[in-house]
Copies of this chain bind each other. A is one copy, B any other.
Amino acid sequence: MIVAGVMSGTSADGIDVAIARIFGRDLSLRYDLLHHFHLTYSRPVRSLILSEMNSSHTNVADLARLNFLLAELYADAVRKAQKESGIRALDLVGCHGQTIYHQGTPLQFLGKRISCTWQTGDGSVLAARLGIPVVTDFRPADMAAGGKGAPLVPFFDFVSLRHRTRGRIAQNLGGIANLTAIPARAKAEDVIAFDTGPGNMVIDALTEKLFDRAYDLNGNIARRGAPIEAAVRRALRHRFFAERPPKTSGREQFGREFSEALKRWCGRCRREDVIATATAITARSIGDALRHFVIKKNARYRDYVVSGGGVKNVTLMKMLAEQVIPLGLRLQRMEEYGVESEAKEALAFAVLAYQTWRKRPSNLPSATGARKPAVLGKLSLP
């Protein structure tokens, strides 16, 4: 099948489309990435999405419109990806949607224990526009099985990277950073996966605030600064970092409030130093997570395979190398496995949709905490 995966992450910068040929199923599933395309959100769309995320004062009309608007934009992005690549015949789309809210842990709510999540971007509209079946809204089925609804990419990592003699760690650097650790000769239940904390989210927020740019291109700003050690240490005392996996994070932990606090902790310094500090927090929190929760005897971890937008941040990659090389890991990029770094998450949702189409599960209970595998998502027919 030719499947398009559509991803728009918590950084709300735009839409990634990955088109792949997929065959087999479950652990014998294989894919060829055929094309990757990125569509940047317009400023008004981005600003609407950011204002709705976790909002405590919004209106249902705008939320309803956003759901339908995003479906139109996802359809535009898929069509542009098809045009650019010349791939006319798509069989299926898997679309993650834009996360508006995520509460992975159940809380009492009007007499029931409720955890919940919300990815917006309507599947029926997308299916109608493209004329093919669409799978959306992957997270609730995992949560209904007792999972945290995240992370979901580990299934893809496990299928892609498991190896008979080498342990491998897949590290994604999106808005949030997350890793999937796959010991040598791992079974599904041996996989460890969790969010390590901020990826680009805090760096982006502070770059926008202090330099009025969307992100620190190539890490050039951070390279000119020096991390403020006291602020790094203060930030790493955030309770999230000490929590044992599985665990998930988002804007709830590392959003505006955290960025503003970090700026205060930096005290009087050059603004480049603030960006360097944010960058160091991403690298150091990942290093801590590897040391505390991942690296153990017998897992034979060798390859550390990085993907996501953060790969382009040279300063971040350098700081990350300082963390992982002493652990005996080899820093690689997802490109070495035939997948463009920035296409990986979109490709993962193509693979998840393909599994759903085949009525096969695609959560990893060891990653999400679910009681059992679940067929993820909702299917819309054109």
User: In the assembled complex, which residues on chain B have CB atoms less than 8 Å from the CB atom of A53?
Assistant: 60
User: In the assembled complex, which residues on chain B have CB atoms less than 8 Å from the CB atom of A58?
Assistant: 57-60
For residue A12, CB closer than 8 A to chain B, the reply is no
Q: How far is the CA of A124 from the CA of B65 in the complex (A)?
A: 22
Bin the interface of chain A by size. 35 or more
For residue A332, CB closer than 8 A to chain B, the reply is no
Q: How far is the CA of A359 from the CA of B380 in the complex (A)?
A: 10
Contact B140 A68 (CB under 8 A): yes
Q: Which residues of A in the span 235-294 have a Cβ within 8 Å of any Cβ on B?
A: none
User: In the assembled complex, which residues on chain B have CB atoms less than 8 Å from the CB atom of A137?
Assistant: 124, 378
Q: How far is the CA of A127 from the CA of B54 in the complex (A)?
A: 27
The contact of A114 among B69, B112, B144, by CB within 8 Å, is: B69
The contact of A60 among B52, B377, B378, B381, by CB within 8 Å, is: B52
For residue A136, CB closer than 8 A to chain B, the reply is yes
Type the 1/0 row for A29-66, where 1 means its CB is closer than 8 Å to any CB of B: 00000000000001011001000111111111101110
For residue A93, CB closer than 8 A to chain B, the reply is no
Question: What is the chain B residue whose CB lies nearest that of A356?
Answer: B381
Q: Which residues of A in the span 304-325 have a Cβ within 8 Å of any Cβ on B?
A: none
User: In the assembled complex, which residues on chain B have CB atoms less than 8 Å from the CB atom of A356?
Assistant: 381
Contact A42 B378 (CB under 8 A): no
Contact B140 A109 (CB under 8 A): no
Among the 9-residue stretches A18-26, A115-123, A173-181, A216-224, the one with 4 or more Cβ atoms under 8 Å from chain B is A115-123
The contact of A69 among B42, B103, B112, B377, by CB within 8 Å, is: B112
Q: What distance in Å separates the Cβ of A130 from its nearest Cβ neighbour in chain B? A: 11
Type the 1/0 row for A66-94, where 1 means its CB is closer than 8 Å to any CB of B: 01110111000000000000000000000
Q: How far is the CA of A115 from the CA of B123 in the complex (A)?
A: 15
Question: What is the chain B residue whose CB lies nearest that of A55?
Answer: B60
For residue A101, CB closer than 8 A to chain B, the reply is yes
For residue A145, CB closer than 8 A to chain B, the reply is yes
Q: What distance in Å separates the Cβ of A152 from its nearest Cβ neighbour in chain B? A: 13
For residue A100, CB closer than 8 A to chain B, the reply is yes
For residue A328, CB closer than 8 A to chain B, the reply is no
Taken together, the copies of this chain in the complex come to 2
Type the 1/0 row for A355-382, where 1 means its CB is closer than 8 Å to any CB of B: 0100100000000000000111111111
For residue A353, CB closer than 8 A to chain B, the reply is no
User: In the assembled complex, which residues on chain B have CB atoms less than 8 Å from the CB atom of A103?
Assistant: 61, 64-65
Q: How far is the CA of A291 from the CA of B141 in the complex (A)?
A: 49
Contact A129 B144 (CB under 8 A): yes
Contact A141 B116 (CB under 8 A): no
Contact A64 B117 (CB under 8 A): yes
Q: Which residues of A in the span 108-159 have a Cβ within 8 Å of any Cβ on B?
A: 109-112, 114-118, 122-125, 127-129, 136-137, 140-141, 143-145
The contact of A48 among B110, B114, B375, by CB within 8 Å, is: B110
Q: How far is the CA of A101 from the CA of B144 in the complex (A)?
A: 25
Q: How far is the CA of A63 from the CA of B61 in the complex (A)?
A: 13
A/B interface sample: 27 pairs, CB < 8 A: A42-B110, A42-B111, A45-B110, A52-B60, A54-B60, A56-B59, A56-B60, A57-B57, A60-B63, A65-B114, A67-B118, A68-B115, A69-B109, A69-B112, A69-B114, A71-B144, A73-B112, A122-B140, A123-B140, A124-B144, A124-B376, A124-B377, A128-B374, A136-B378, A141-B380, A356-B381, A379-B381
